[in-house]
Amino acid sequence: MTVTEESTEPLLQRPPAEVRYADELAALRAADDGPRPPGWQMGLRAALRFVVGDEQAGISRKFVGNVSLVERALVTLATNRGLMLVGEPGTAKSLLSELIAAAVSGDSALTVQGGAATTEDQIKYSWNYALLVSEGPSPRSLVPAPMLRGMAEGRIVRFEEITRCPLEVQDCLLSLLSDRVIAIPELDGPEGMVFARQGFNVIATANTRDRGVNEMSAALKRRFNFETVFPIPDFDTELALVEAEATALLKQSGVTAPPRRDVLEVLVGTFRELRGAAERGERMSTVMSTAEAVSVAHAVGVRGWFLRGEPGTAADVVASLAGTAAKDSPEDLARLRRFLEQEVPRRKGGQWRALHDARHLLAD
């Protein structure tokens, strides 16, 4: 969730992590003298430092969250179980898997994007049909998909949104994860079996909003270790992150006024409150993630600057919340309104008051 500005690759909107942090990765690899699991580009501690940062060594903090979660994730990948990252949307699961893959394999691009239309072909391999027809099945006509490549090259494969795939497609991972081999029956001889090299493992992500992990088959479940990624627990950390991200986004949008901290405080406070309401059985159907908070902060800044030439105010927060946070659910809108009406007046501080006063801006 950290924005960095890399001028080396001006053509790419968002280069992969191994390109964005190439210098840090190189430095960590060079300085790493710890034990290194076979097939890994660096040891576990170095990988951990890459993800959670190390101020003294000049390694930036890229993932804000539990350190022990990252430790468990890395150790899991060094064993023979896959890693399953679950959590609400917007909790930086994909970022975490990208960072880990970049650290462990130096390559985060072996990615399967799960969806209703995902097929086994996209996971294991398919064929170049022109060559297949003219030459018959051969390694030349084989088109390897990420899983096959990851096994052959000994790299981490990322499987995004695995629970959105049909169950039968998910289950094609079963033999692959336990036997660590893909059979290609069309090919004869040793080429018909691709054994996983050391360094291969799978990081899957699943969000708890769409189709949860409950529908996953028990057989597949037990081939993964589960890690739940949580929203940032600490207010100040989240505020700092939102401020940094929103400032960067605003700069990209041509807004020179930085966001006001007191306005961001009520914004982040509102997000945290609505997120916390889930514990009391009042879950918002809209995702109240930090990423959403950043996008609202961005919208607030843009409104303030282009409409009035100033940083956004609490009134802009209300107006933006209506569109961003309460997207299409009247229930969510009602809950937001109820929060503005009943909860906000109890909070002390100028911007909370302004937020309350602007509640009428929450259009129906």
Partner 1 sequence: MATDPAAAPSPETAHFIGVRHHSPACARLVARAIAALRPAYVLVEGPADMNGRLDELLLEHRLPVAVFSHYRDETRVATSWAPLCDYSPEWIALRDGRAAGAQVRFIDLPAWHPAFTERAEGAANRYADAEARYAEATARLCERFSVDSVDALWDGLFEVADDPDGLQERLDTYFDLVRGDAEADAGDRAREEYMASWVRAAVARSGGRPVLVVTGGFHRPALRALAAVGGTQWPEVPEPPEGALGGSFLVPYSFRQLDAFGGYQSGMPSPGYYQRLWESGAEAAAGELTRAVAERLRGRGIAVSTAALVAARSLAQGLALMRGHPYEARVDVLDGLAGALITDDLDRPLPWTTRGTLHAGTHPVVAEMVAACTGTAEGALHPDTPLPPLVHDVAERLARLGLDGAEGPVRLDLTEPRGLERSRVLHRLRVLGVPGFTRVSGPADSADPVFTERWEPSPKAGREAALIEAGAYGARLEEAASVLLAERAHTAGTDAGPLAGLLFDAVLCGVGPLSADLLDTLADRVGRVRELGPLGEVLATALGLWRHDRVFGVARGPVLGAVVAGAVRRALWLAEGLHGSGGGVDLGRLRALAAVRDALRYAPEAVPITREAAAEAAARIAGDPLAPQDLRGAACGLGWALGGAADPAATVRALAPDALGDWLAGLFAVAREEVGRGDGTLVDVLDDIVAAMTEDTFHAGLPALRQAFAFFPPREREAVAAHLLERRGRAGSARALLRTTADPLRLARAKALEAAVTDLLTRHGLRTPCRDEHAMGPRTSRPDEHTTGPRTPHPNEHTTGPRTAR
Query: Site residues (CB under 8 A) for partner 1?
Result: 35, 44-45, 48-49, 52, 66-68, 71-72, 74-76, 78-79, 81, 86-87, 206, 208, 212-214, 218, 221-222, 224-228, 230, 233, 279-282, 330-331, 334-335, 337-338, 341-343, 345-346
Task: Select from 60, 40, 43, 41 the least CA-distant residue to 52.
Answer: 60
Between 54 and 186, whose beta carbon lies closer to partner 1? 54
Q: How is residue 340 written in tokens? A: 């503005």
Between 253 and 342, whose beta carbon lies closer to partner 1? 342
CB of 170 to partner 1, least distance (A): 14
State in Å, rounded, how far the first CA of the chain is from the last one. Answer: 32
Between 110 and 232, whose beta carbon lies closer to partner 1? 232
Which residues make beta-bridge pairs with 207? 87
SS3 60: coil
CB of 224 to partner 1, least distance (A): 7
Please give the Cα distance from 231 to 327 (Å, whole number). Answer: 20
Between 84 and 148, whose beta carbon lies closer to partner 1? 84
Helix H or strand E encompassing 183: strand 181-183
Q: What is the DSSP letter of 106?
A: S
CB of 206 to partner 1, least distance (A): 8
**Which residues, at least 6 apart from 259, have a Cβ–Cβ distance to it below 8 Å?**
243, 246, 247, 250, 297, 300, 301, 311, 312
Task: Select from 61, 54, 94, 1 the least CA-distant residue to 293.
Answer: 1
CB of 205 to partner 1, least distance (A): 11
CB of 4 to partner 1, least distance (A): 21
Between 49 and 164, whose beta carbon lies closer to partner 1? 49
